Structure 1
C-alpha cells in the first residue's frame, strides 16, 4: 500500500504566488483600497482637520484664522459651564446605557420563550429604533407636557402633581434620558435576542437539574455566555449615547436655563454654529474623542483580562 500524499492541495499555487508577490499586493489593494480610501476621506481626514482647527481662533465669517495654541483647551478647563456639561454627559450616558442594556436583556429573555403574540411584541419593541430621532423627540414632547401630556394624566389619576419637565433641569434631563432609552431599546433587545439563540441549553438544563436557583443560573451560566455580546453592546451603546443630538435639539435645545440638558456633543454644535466659534467647538469635540478613545481601550483591556481567566 502506498503512503497517502500529504502534500497540501494549494502548495503549488502558494509557490507560484510566492514567486509573484506583486499579485498579492495588487489583490489586496483592489479589495481593500476603495474602502480604505473612503475611510481616510470621510473619517480620518475630518478628524485630523478637527484637531488642527482646535488650535485656532476663527469665525466662519472671517477669511483668516488666528493661532491660539492650547488656548481653547485652557478656556474649556477653566469655564464653569464645562463641568456642568460634563456632569450632564456622564449622567445621561450612565443611565441611558444601563437602562437600555438591562431592559433589553430582560425583554429578550422574556420574548425568547414560546409566548402567544411574541412576534408582534418583538416588532413593537424594535419599531422606535428605526424612527427618526427628531420625530420621536417631537412625539415625546406631548407625552411629557405638564399641562395635557400622557404622563400628567396618569399622575393626576393617582393624585400626584406632574413635575415641570421643561423648567426643572433635572427633570428635563430625566425626560430626555427616558425618551432615548425608549427609542434605542430595540437595538439592545434585538442583539441580545440573537445572542440567546446561541446559548447552550444543555448547560442551563444541567444547572436546573443540580438545583441551582433561577438567579444563580442566570448569573453563573447565562451571563458568562452573553459576555461577548455585552461587551459589544457596552461599546456601541456608549458611543451612540455620547453622540445624541437630535433628541436634545428637538425637546429642550440644551435647556432649561442655560445648560440644563446640554451634553458635550450639543455643546460642540452650540459653540460652532450658534456662537460662531468653530475653533472652540473643535476643541470640545477633540476632548470628547480622547475620552471615548480612553473608555474604549479600557473596555477592551477589561474584556481581554476576563477572557484570559
Structure 2
C-alpha cells in the first residue's frame, strides 16, 4: 500500500507559509523597532517609574521606601498649593486655548482677504512666535508694569482704568493670555494653510445659492478646516497643561526677583495666581526633594491631559463634518 503524496505536499506548503509569515513578522518588527525602542525608553519606562515612585518616599539620594497612599494624601489634603494650581491650570486650558484658536483662525481669515501685502502681514504676525519665551515674558512684564509701563501710561492718557497686570491676582492670568495671543503666529500659519486649501468653486456655488459671508463660513469653510481646528485644540491643551516658563518668569519679574542667589521669591506671585501644575512638579521634586509627591502631581497632570484629549477626539465627529 503506497502513501499519497498529497498530505506531504500540503505539509510542505504549510511549513513554507509559516516561514513566510514569520519572515514578514520579523521584517515588520525591524521597521517598527525605532518606534518601539523610543516608546519603551521615553514613554513606557518613565510612566511606569512615575507610578512606582508615587507610592514611595524617595528624595533622590536614599533608597525608596514604600509608603502606600501617603504621597497622594499629602498632595490632595496637605500640600497648600495644589488646588489653587489645579484651578489656575484649568483656567489657562479653557480660556487660553479657546482664545488662541479663535484669534489664530481670525487672523488667518483676515490675511486671506488681503489683496496686497499678504506676505508682509504673514511675516509680521509670525515673527513674535519666534521670540524666546523668557525674553518675550520679560518684555511683556516691563510693558505691563503698573507703575512705569507704557501700556498703563497710554490707558491713563485715555482716561481708562490701569490694571495691575502681573502684580494683581485678578489680572495675572489675563496678562499671560495676552502674551500667548501675541505669539499666535504658529496657529495663524496652520489655519492659513487650511483656509487656502478650501476649494474656491464651493464658495462660488454657495454665493450663487444666495449664501452670505456667515453662511459661507459656516457651511463651506468650517467643514473643511474642522480637522485642523481639532488638531489645534488638542495640541493646545497638551501644551497648556505643560505651561511653566512664562508663568514663573512673569511672577519673578513682577515681584522684583530677576536673578541672583539669596533672593526670596513667592511661588505663583501674586498670591498664587500664576501657580501651575508643572511648577508644582518642580517645587516638590527639585526644591523639596519629595520625588514621590512630585510623581503624584505628574500623574494627575497626565490623567487630565489624557481626559481632555480623549473627550475632544471622541466628540470630534460632532463638528468634523467633512471627510478626514
Q: What's the CA shift for 1:66?
A: 2.6
1:182 maps to 182
Listed as ranges, the matches of 1:158-173 within 5 Å are 158-173=158-173
> In the TM superposition, what whole-angstrom CA distance separates every residue of 1:8-38 from its partner, at most 9, and x where no partner exists?
xxxxxxxx98862343233323322123212
Q: Once the two structures are superposed, what CA deviation does each residue of 1:273-304 show, in whole Å capped at 9, x if it has no partner?
A: 22221211110110110111111111111124
1:93-112 alignment to 2 at 5 Å? 93-112=93-112
What's the TM-score once normalised by structure 1's chain length? 0.87
Question: For the pair shown, which has the larger CA radius of gyration, 1 or 2?
Answer: 2
Q: Using the alignment, how far apart are the partners of 2:142 and 2:135 within structure 1?
A: 12
In the TM superposition, what is the alpha-carbon distance from 1:257 to its structure 2 partner? 4.1
In the aligned structure 2, how far is the partner of 1:205 from the partner of 1:263?
A: 48
Secondary structure of 2:96's aligned partner: helix
Aligned counterparts, 1:1-309, within 5 A: 20-60=20-60, 62-79=61-78, 81-183=81-183, 185-253=184-252, 254-304=267-317
Contact 1:76/1:284, CA 8 A, preserved across alignment: yes
Change (3 A) 1:272 1:123: same
Deviates most, 129-138 or 223-232: 129-138
Report if aligned partners of 1:126, 1:189 keep a CA contact under 8 Å in 2: yes
Mapped contact 1:169–1:255 kept (Cα < 8 A): no
Determine if contact 2:226/2:320 at 8 Å carries over to the other structure: no
Q: Distance in 2 between matches of 1:124 and 1:32?
A: 41
Q: Which residue of 2 aligns with 1:8?
A: none
Name the SS of the counterpart of 2:153 in structure 1: helix
Contact 1:180 1:247 in 2 (8 A): no
Instruction: Provide the C-alpha distance between the structure 1 equivalents of 2:111 and 2:163, rounded to a whole number of angstroms.
Output: 34
SS in structure 1 opposite 2:116? coil
Alpha-carbon distance in 2 for matches of 1:307, 1:156 = 46
- Stretch deviating more after TM superposition (292-301 or 108-117): 108-117
TM-score normalised by L of structure 2: 0.83
Deviation at 1:105, TM superposition (A): 0.5
How far apart, CA to CA, are the structure 2 residues paired with 1:17 and 1:168? 72
* Counterpart contact for 1:86–1:263, Cα < 8 Å: yes
Q: How far apart are residue 220 of structure 1 and its match? A: 2.2
In 1, distance between residues paired with 2:292 and 2:122?
A: 45
Q: Output the CA distance in 2 between the equivalents of 1:129 and 1:36.
A: 33
Question: Higher mean Cα deviation, 65-74 or 278-287?
Answer: 65-74
Following superposition, the deviation at residue 130 of structure 1 comes to: 2.6
Q: Could you list the runs of 5+ residues in structure 2 that have no partner in the other structure?
A: 1-15, 253-266
Q: 4+ runs of 1 displaced by more than 4 Å? A: 16-19, 305-309
Deviation per residue, 1:73-113 (Å, 9 max, x gap): 22222246322112111111111111110011011111123
